[in-house]
Structure 1
């Protein structure tokens, strides 16, 4: 019988207290990079041993001679079968930052079951090591709404200013705006007003749909989309909310709120669901709803555009309507639904579905500075540019990828609730201000 089987039999037949005697042989197998025995077998046995292996693994992480040995020990440590989250207290207070980070990560894996040990994580928010601080934040966030009273009490205590700011971020991340008390909510609004005054537009990460309306009437835009509860925000916060919501998996995250930009070079941009409706029919091409929606909006605002891109693939789409009529519609996923002749805003060249994956992800990957330079060079040299949605938006209205100091800004940005959001509230999550 080999060493692994011998140690495994001892670990399997012993109680947790007696199992401590096989920890050292298993640790040797775990960290021996030349061993013919798979290290995962030793790691799995250590995990089953649970608490008797906890501090020995912590010492192994702290004293590992190679990065590989440290990573193996961390993997075993993160999944220990430990009944009580409080057992991690010594590791959370360990002198080595890698052990403290590993202990916080282990608690994060426990989710709400780590709540009894949440108080042990609070000191790590002021840890000198960035990785430890980040792991403590993730663990507190994943412990669920039950941690909110602890976070509120800590914020009202004598925590340093930097930690108090992190606690405010955690409150928003766990419970959303509703988790903030009146004083904290007022502080956030005050900070938004201050930062919004001189904010310079920044290129946005594009992944999802947005509308562009030829208007400076914010009230009319909110009314056209059935929005209410509009809160003044910075452009950075609005873009952060849209990006977070588009990639969220929580119920109603994508349909609860809409980011409405300031007037940018004469256009108001509306970032939200694929059709501007909280719950469009599922499984159908967006064009069935987008085209009549754009036509309706253009009757009210003169010109109404809809654009869509995906940061994960080459999907790109646009709909351009003027005076109540759709003059151009294109969807790379459904080219058979194309309406109208190429718009003057579309550079010459292949449409996305015809270009293969040559320009896949270009809307999401290029920076505003690169895009501006590319467009200028392309114009000067007569080079055909790909007809992706961001490029089309740059010629027909406003390209969110190319926002910058030269963009003319009028009015302010808002984050508003849809009909769905009025029932479910803002999605949880901390946003950039």
Structure 2
């Protein structure tokens, strides 16, 4: 049977096409072009996984044709690009070194995909380090980002080469900057030498006085205390090793540590916190302490929320005894969770958690510890339902515009107030970190400070902006 007939037989089910797929794989390089045409044809009745399987099993002879398809005008279709890149990353090849020539391909999509494959090899990609180093200075930001990820996967074995690159002015500022980012990704500040650490601190000193505050992405938890005494705040949270940073750096560290995953290190989520400069008279402390993290992690799912709540309430009470008042706020960018705790003079006067309240709460009416706080006045609490059951009758709920139009209409007609979240309560009680701006009064310098875990294990790995 010739290759044309075999390709026609690819239009059956997965099981029905097995014989044709096997025969095409046996023909090897001779059928790469026509099978690739089927893969790239969005109108073809053949499921895209069928030709992709054939190309992946043919292996190395399909490498360059797939790379060219990825770079060609046909890949302007997101669907075609997805199919081609899927196959390109999964070729049955004898060793990953066959992807190395693609690192110099003129199209960034191809370079990026080759880097993705080499990243999956982890430490084994160290043998390609000389070919990888130039990608740290690639003109395309996404390619540079991927190159940093490859060096992170390689690990500490790449540190000497990266440090050598940092000391070679002829390589240019972009590639030296990429090497610095890769060093930070591998092992955080511990991977930097004294000269790089001094340069970072010098840049921070230059940028910090002229920095205009910007609203922070709110995902995680933070405390607020009415104090200008940073040393007292550090002592209250048992923090050490404070390193002055810009607001931008501190915010990035908080978000990085909240969302990061690290395969080589533990305690990366509880090693440090960001203690803000004084913002409109308040000091904010972002992040999780060792106690928060490990007591919650050691509890089962049913108990974790109760453990966190008890830690938060006790700490807020202790902080308010020392500073007169204290608040804790929590928000999630992923699932709508929001919570707050307010303490005054050593006592918790209000603790609210939207998820706990939705399940029944701990008090009769306020759904939390303590009565509703005046800061909540005029708002609906997140768990409260105010729309009537028939509010969306006749509305296509799959149409966002129609849904929100009806939502606004019903709210206005019935006079339903806005729903509050932790940042709204923070705005009334202390400072909303999501609304920082030129209007915010800033005193002193913020710091990244180490928790008990951080003093033992060091800063988390990862590059941070200055």
- Normalising by the smaller structure, the TM-score range is 0.7 to 0.9
Q: What residue number does 2:393 align with?
A: none
Alpha-carbon shift at residue 30 of structure 1 (Å): 1.7
Cα 1:123–1:138, aligned 2, differ >3 Å: closer, same or farther? same
TM-score normalised by L of structure 1: 0.86
- Structure 1 residues 212-236: Cα deviation after superposition (integer angstroms, max 9, x where no partner): 0111111111111111111111111
Q: 1-side partners of 2:271 and 2:100: how far apart?
A: 40
Q: What residue number does 2:199 align with?
A: 187
Contact conserved, 1:278 with 1:420, CA < 8 A, in 2? no
Q: 1-side partners of 2:152 and 2:271: how far apart?
A: 21
TM-score normalised by L of structure 2: 0.81
Matched, 1:417 2:450: yes
Task: Give the 5 Å matches for 1:43-122.
Answer: 43-68=52-77, 69-122=80-133
Contact conserved, 2:137 with 2:176, CA < 8 A, in 1? no
Contact conserved, 1:275 with 1:293, CA < 8 A, in 2? no
Matched, 1:132 2:147: no
Task: Give the 5 Å matches for 1:375-390.
Answer: 384-390=417-423
Q: What residue number does 2:355 align with?
A: 333
Q: What residue number does 2:432 align with?
A: 399
Cα 1:21–1:356, aligned 2, differ >3 Å: closer, same or farther? farther
Structure 1 window deviating more from structure 2 (18-27 vs 394-403): it is 18-27
- Structure 1 residues 326-374: Cα deviation after superposition (integer angstroms, max 9, x where no partner): 121111122323122222222323211114899xxxxxxxxxxxxxxxx
Q: What residue number does 1:36 align with?
A: 45
Q: What residue number does 2:406 align with?
A: none
Q: What residue number does 1:314 align with?
A: 336
Alpha-carbon shift at residue 297 of structure 1 (Å): 1.0
Cα 1:48–1:331, aligned 2, differ >3 Å: closer, same or farther? same
Q: What residue number does 1:299 align with?
A: 321
Cα 1:28–1:388, aligned 2, differ >3 Å: closer, same or farther? closer
Q: What residue number does 1:141 align with?
A: 152
RMSD across aligned positions (CA): 2.5
Segments of structure 2 that go 5 or more residues without pairing to the other structure are: 11-16, 363-367, 389-414
Q: 1-side partners of 2:274 and 2:387: how far apart?
A: 30
**Which SS does the other structure have where 2:340 is aligned?**
strand
Alpha-carbon shift at residue 269 of structure 1 (Å): 0.5
**Number of equivalences:** 406
Q: 2-side partners of 1:150 and 1:10: how far apart?
A: 46
Contact conserved, 1:346 with 1:387, CA < 8 A, in 2? yes
Structure 1 window deviating more from structure 2 (222-231 vs 149-158): it is 149-158
Q: 1-side partners of 2:131 and 2:347: how far apart?
A: 62
Task: Give the 5 Å matches for 1:223-238.
Answer: 223-238=235-250
Q: 1-side partners of 2:320 and 2:254: how far apart?
A: 24
Alpha-carbon shift at residue 260 of structure 1 (Å): 0.4
Alignment partner for residue 270 of structure 2, among 255, 262, 265? Answer: 255
Segments of structure 1 that go 5 or more residues without pairing to the other structure are: 359-381
Contact conserved, 2:290 with 2:453, CA < 8 A, in 1? no
Alpha-carbon shift at residue 290 of structure 1 (Å): 1.5
Matched, 1:408 2:423: no
Alpha-carbon shift at residue 291 of structure 1 (Å): 1.4
Cα 1:410–1:383, aligned 2, differ >3 Å: closer, same or farther? farther
Matched, 1:342 2:372: yes
